[in-house]
Amino acid sequence: EAGVTQSPTHLIKTRGQQATLRCSPISGHTSVYWYQQALGLGLQFLLWYDEGEERNRGNFPPRFSGRQFPNYSSELNVNALELEDSALYLCASSSAGMRQTQYFGPGTRLLVL
Amino acid sequence: AQSVTQLDSQVPVFEEAPVELRCNYSSSVSVYLFWYVQYPNQGLQLLLKYLSGSTLVKGINGFEAEFNKSQTSFHLRKPSVHISDTAEYFCAVSPLNTGGFKTIFGAGTRLFVKA
C-alpha cells in the first residue's frame, strides 16, 4: 500500500511569490491535514480537509489556503511569501473511521529567499 | 484543552543501552496517545498508538510504550538502541471523538545514539 506522497520535495521561492504544494493521501483516506514545521517551533496545525471541504484551520493568516479534490488529494497554496514561511510542510492523511491516526508524508521543504 | 510535555529535549545514549523517552500530558477528556519518529530530512512515521485496552503498547522497530492514566504519562522505551534509532521522537495526544485536527504534538525529543 502506497503511503502519503508529497510534491515537490524542495521548493525555492522569493518573497512575495506564491507556492503550491501537493499531497496525495493513502488510498481510502478521506481526511488530509497540513502542518508547518518551522525550525524551533514544532508542528503547527495549518488546515484540515475532509470529503472535499475545509473543516478547520489553525492560527495562520488567510494567505495560507488550499483545497481538496474529488480524489481526496490536496493542494496547499501560500500567497505573498514571507521569509518566515520557510519551513518543512507536512501532509498527513487519515481514514473516516479513525481520524486521530494520522499518517504523514515526507514533506516539502520550502525556502523563501 | 490538551497539552503534551516531552520532558527531555535531547537524550544521548550509547549503542545497545536501554532508553526511555518521557511524555506527560494533560487533558480534561479521554485521549488517544501516539509516538511518532522523524528521521533527518523526512516526515513523521507512526511508531505506536494507544487507543484502548492493554496499557503496554508495542510498536515498530522494537519500541514500546506504557500508558499510565494515574500519572498521565506515556513513556517510550527500547531495551537496546541502535545507531539507526538516532532521530527526533514526538509524543502526541488526540481527544476521542474529534477530528485529527485537535491532535497536539509535543516539542520533540532528539535521541542521539553514540557508538
CATH superfamily of B3-114: Immunoglobulins (2.60.40.10)
- What are the tens digits of pLDDT across the range A34-60? 999 998 788 999 999 999 999 999 999
**Domain boundaries defined on chain A:** 5-91
DSSP B79: S
Chain B interface test: which of A7, A24, A33, A100 (most B C-beta within 10 Å):
A100
What would the grid cell of residue B37 be?
A: 519518529
* Cβ neighbours of B90 in A, within 8 Å: 43
Q: SS3 for A39-70, per residue?
A: CCCEEEEEEEEECCEEEEECCCCCCEEEEECC
Task: Provide, as residue numbers in chain A, all residues whose Cβ is less than 8 Å from the Cβ of B47.
Answer: none
For residues A61 and A77, the answer to whether their CB atoms sit within 8 Å is no
Q: What is the pLDDT of residue A1?
A: 67
Measured from the Cβ of residue B87, the count of other Cβ atoms closer than 10 Å reads: 21
Provide the residue ranges of all domains of chain B, joining segments of one domain with +: 3-114
Concatenate the DSSP letters of all residues of A61-110 into one string.
-TTEEEEE-TTS-EEEEE-S--GGG-EEEEEEEEETTEEEEEEE---EEE
Predicted confidence (pLDDT) at residue B73 exceeds the cutoff of 70 = yes
| A58-111 pLDDT per residue, tens | 999 999 999 999 999 999 999 999 999 999 999 999 987 777 789 999 999 999
Query: Which of B39-68 are b and which e, b meaning 16 or more Cβ less than 10 Å from the residue's Cβ?
Result: eeebbbbbbbbbeeeeeebebeeebbbbbe
**Interface contact A99-B98, CB threshold 8 A:** yes
pLDDT, average across residues B51-57: 89
Under an 8 A CB cutoff, do A45 and B32 touch?
no
pLDDT-derived band at A6, boundaries 50, 70, 90: very high
Task: Report the residue from A4, A42, A56 with minimal CB separation from B99.
Answer: A56
Of A39, A76, A81, A42, nearest in space to B105 by CA: A42
User: Does the domain spanning A5-91 belong to CATH 3.20.130.10?
Assistant: no
The mean pLDDT of chain B is: 93
Percentage with pLDDT > 90 across chain B: 75
Kindly state whether A31 is in contact with chain B, defined as any CB-CB distance less than 8 angstroms. yes
Is the model more confident about A41 or about A32?
A32
pLDDT in the model for residue B86: 97
| Among A36, A33, A42, A48, residue whose Cα is nearest residue A86 | A36
pLDDT digits (tens, 9 = 90+) for B24-51: 999 988 889 999 999 988 899 999 999 8
